Amino acid sequence: MDLVPTPSQTAGPYFHLGMTDTRSVPQIAGPQTKGERVWLTCRLVDGDDAPVCDAVIEIWQADAEGKYNHPDNVRNRIQSRDPSWLGFGRMPTALDGCCEFETIRPGRVLGLGNEPQAPHLNIAIFARGLLKQLYTRIYFAGDPSNAEDAVMKLVTPERRETLLAQPDPAQPSRWRFDIHLQGEMETVFFDV
């Protein structure tokens, strides 16, 4: 008997129900978590700037001291971890392509060669039509350490803006990050 491989398929159409039905995590940092509290609205759009309403966005980030909530994190063994710190969030996008997370502004983490990286959040995007998730980062516009960040330096200067969350001038603790899947303003995605 010959076995013939079947074609690969994308996730969907109901994949987000299993990931977010009771597993949505909009609050990455508890009320007692130390650090500058921020609300981040992510908006996911396609190449025509139309909202992508059937997607899931996951965030992993360090706490205000630059420590990830992971047992293998060497810095966690040296310093005690904040018990109200989760460090992970997951939300489905709504009809307008948006979802919101409550968190704190992350501290600088050490990268390869112990070089401090600019404060950032790591993002994974799951959506119908994608064979595997997309990865990107969110940096904060105006942070002076962005110019020193080794990962940011890998991105051509004209594309770096696609990695920057923008502050809401009317509400200083609110930030907005637009994720463009295609098109002229396509977000920089990383092959990890």
Domain that holds residue 106: 15-180
**pLDDT score for 30:** 87
Residue 76 belongs to a domain: yes
The whole-number pLDDT of residue 14 equals 53
CATH number at residue 62: 2.60.130.10
Q: Is 4 a member of any domain?
A: no
Model pLDDT, residue 114: 86
pLDDT at 24: 85
Predicted confidence at residue 85, as pLDDT, reads 83
In a domain, 191, yes or no: no
Does residue 10 form part of some domain? no
Domain presence at residue 188: no
99 domain-assigned: yes
Q: Is residue 3 part of a domain?
A: no
User: What HEC string does the chain produce?
Assistant: CCCCCCCCCCCCCCHHHHHHCCCCECECECCCCCCCEEEEEEEEECCCCCECCCEEEEEEECCCCCCCCCCCCHHHHHCCCCCCECCEEEEECCCCCEEEEEEECCCCCECHHHCECCCEEEEEEEECCCCCCEEEEEEECCCHHHHHCHHHHHCCHHHHHHHEEEEECCEEEEEEEEEECCCCCCCCCECC
pLDDT at 173 (0 to 100): 95
The pLDDT of residue 137 is 98
pLDDT by position in tens, the chain (length 192): 566 665 555 555 555 555 555 578 889 998 899 999 999 999 999 999 999 998 999 999 999 999 888 666 555 444 556 778 889 999 999 999 999 999 999 999 988 788 899 999 999 999 888 888 999 999 999 999 999 999 999 999 999 999 999 999 999 899 999 999 999 999 999 998
Domain count, the chain: 1
User: Does 1 fall in a domain?
Assistant: no
